[in-house]
Amino acid sequence: MTSTQTPSTFTLGDRTVHRLGYGAMQLAGPGVFGPPKDREAALAVLREAVASGVDHIDTSDFYGPHITNQLIREALSPYAKDLVIVTKIGAKRSDTGGWLPAFSAAELTQAVHDNLRNLGVDVLEVVNLRIMFDVHGPAEGSIEAPLAALADLQRQGLVRHIGLSNVTSAQVAEGRGICHIACVQNQYNLAHRNDDALIDDLARDGIPYVPFFPLGGFTPLQSSGLSEVAQRLGATPMQVALAWLLRRSPNILLIPGTGSVAHLRENLAAGKLALPADAMEALDRVAAAKAG
């Protein structure tokens, strides 16, 4: 995009949401396992997010497990009519906090009912099917069986819209042949740009792309180029990285996570950060250097 103006909303399912949302993963304990060290602080972040205009919250019942959904219910129920809560199924946690595949029909059904119960809702607005052929990233393989099971739960009225997470372009194409895909959630950031072509394909069809780990996740992105742009604009590297994603394509929806009200406000301010052309060029050089 060449304009410094970026649209502030996009369609998710049949709802219009602000492109800067909130991801609840960090509200659980260390390693996304167990309760937060400060429950009241976690509740305060959720309430501040909604009070600040956030209408798209990303969560999962395997965060904790169960912790983040229970916090969301305590903080925000009864939910505002414009709030879209997106959850994920397809994984579970081991007793020691490991991430395990869980996408048999029985496991997916149980996960949908767990999310319904812990969020305190009668229907889940959007459910992302996380594909777990490889815990560390997308890996090829047919997703027909688990997606058909989720589509059956949709026909039962328990799920309104279905998305995909941790998927390849081939799996997105396969999924779109089975049911309507409302969004795709994969890792993508300034330095991790494997999905460039997929983002553009989805944009042409009006399908949101939701990148996670906008600054690298568990191994944070370190870039002098990013830091220099941030310093020049009087912003934080996270704000610049988020603003770059908003500029990258109008179908990108962001879900930065934090357990801090101050950090939440910083993240939301990225929506107002204008990136001049020379800043975009410098950031594209960062991406090119990482790719090289």
Choose among 180, 77, 183: nearest CA to 122.
Answer: 77
Q: Count the Cβ atoms, other than its own, within 10 Å of residue 139.
A: 14
d(CA 134, CA 166): 9
Choose among 249, 248, 170, 167: nearest CA to 205.
Answer: 249
Backbone region of residue 87 per phi and psi (left: phi > 0; alpha: psi in -120 to 50; beta: other values): beta
Choose among 21, 97, 38: nearest CA to 62.
Answer: 97
Q: Is the peptide bond before 65 cis (omega within 30 degrees of 0)?
A: yes
Check 63, 79, 188, 209 and give the catalytic one: 63
Residue that is written with structure tokens 């050089």 in the block? 285
- Clarify whether 188 is annotated catalytic: no
HEC string for 86-111: EEEECEEECCCCCEEECCCHHHHHHH
Between vectors from CA 71 to CA 269 and to CA 242, what angle results, nearest 5°? 20
> Active-site positions?
63
